[in-house]
Amino acid sequence: MSDGTEPGELTHFDGAGAAHMVDVANKPETARMARARARVRMAPETLAKIEAGQLGKGDVLGVARLGGIAGAKQTAAQIPLCHPVRISAVAIAFEIDHQLPGVVVEARVDAVDRTGPEMEAMMAASTAALTIYDMCKAIDRGMEVVELVLVEKRGGKSGHWSRPPTGR
């Protein structure tokens, strides 16, 4: 590998075990995409209020969408060894899940760069989920963000990867 590591090694540590930012200068700029998912579990009554738009703070999912987009854009400022990635698009989608009960957040981030937007997608999904929590905590302090996972990534040397239905 161009950064001096072997496949399967942790790339953010040098040979002496010190943390470092991976050198991506010799990698080609390519189109890349990543999708991440977060689930927010809540009381059925809270979910019903979100669905009906009955929370006094306004459109919870609309604000969470903006939070997710902002989170994606701030990833390199929050994750110490993460490169700033040239994001070309961020999309946040929500699914009401009565079985959870709660909201499933899916974030998709597209970029053209030397490294992928996996962390940006994870940050977008988590920030949107935390925004839902923040907006609803006054009526449901028992809410939980119960999952944050990378669902799929495309592009770059490693190509395409998607999470199998079993979850690993």
Which residues are identified as catalytic? 134
| Distance of alpha carbon 61 from alpha carbon 64, whole angstroms | 5
Using DSSP bridges, classify how beta strands 87-97 and 102-113 pair: parallel, antiparallel or unpaired: antiparallel
Crossing angle for the helix pair 118-136 and 44-52, nearest 10 degrees?
A: 100
- Our separate counts of H helices and E strands in the chain read 4, 5
| Distance of alpha carbon 109 from alpha carbon 69, whole angstroms | 9
